Amino acid sequence: MVKHVNVKLKFDTPESGYIAKPFWPELSTVINVAKDVHPKLGEAKKQQAVLAALEKRGLTKDEWDTIQELAKRPFYTIDGTRKGEIIIPQRIFRSFLNHASMKCPKAIPSIKERGMTFIAVTVESHGKHGGAHFLTGQTEKDAIEFTRLVKLEESNQRTPATDLYIRDFEASARIGIEEEVITSEDLKKLTEWGGYWIGIGSARPQGFGRFTVTQWEAA
């Protein structure tokens, strides 16, 4: 039997927030084009190499400019634009539940079989844009920069990396729970534990993505 629950997750700890850092299909294109351009080329030859890489992929300069902009989007949004409301997609929430299930102690209820999460928990679609996600009430204008040093793949050298994050908000959704897999109350306990110890989204080792469950009520 499916039980429907209204859920709110509050991200309000001083050191926390939500970083999405999506890996867009357009970002793959940007990376692959960059592989065709030697980093030591001068600016003129670099531009020629980029144009050659685009021609090989059947892309125009205008299409390339659009792809580069789309690849920079720091959050998932309700309409796919950088001005839209930031959302937390269903698959991100399910990934969080899978991670929490793998890491939680025996005293915490969990979904033992990873694939069952995709059957047991559904974030319901809503709004004119549809889609299964949590709403945050935030836009990119509300975001704050977080800068840290990250290790380069080819050496031990560190380089600054900056991501945008949002904080002091509640993410809300209505979810469906298949109680033959996990009960609503047990899923709440798992979500509460994961919100405190695991977090959701990117940069979790730096403390991001932590939240508390402020609403869990039968719809």
The pLDDT mean for the chain works out to 92
List the structure tokens of 177: 């729970």
What is the residue range of 40's domain?
Answer: 26-71
Q: Are residues 115 and 185 in the same domain?
A: yes
Q: Are residues 18 and 115 in the same domain?
A: yes
Helix (H, G, I), strand (E, B), or coil: what is residue 123? strand
Q: Are residues 147 and 39 in the same domain?
A: no
Helix (H, G, I), strand (E, B), or coil: what is residue 181? coil
Q: Are residues 114 and 6 in the same domain?
A: yes
Range scoring the smallest mean pLDDT among 62-71, 92-101, 108-117, 156-165: 156-165
List the structure tokens of 50: 């980029």
- What confidence score (pLDDT) does residue 131 get? 78
Q: Are residues 100 and 33 in the same domain?
A: no
* Helices 43-56 and 61-71: angle between axes, nearest 10 degrees: 100
Q: Are residues 100 and 30 in the same domain?
A: no
Q: Are strands 212-218 and 2-11 parallel, antiparallel or unpaired?
A: antiparallel
pLDDT in tens, 21-46: 999 999 999 999 999 988 888 889 99
**Which of the pair, 205 or 133, is modelled with greater confidence?**
133
Q: Are residues 85 and 32 in the same domain?
A: no
Q: Are residues 199 and 97 in the same domain?
A: yes
List the structure tokens of 35: 């592989």
| Residue 91 CA neighbour count, 13 Å, CB half | 4
pLDDT higher than 90, residue 159? no
- Is residue 69 very low, low, confident or very high in pLDDT (cuts 50, 70, 90)? very high
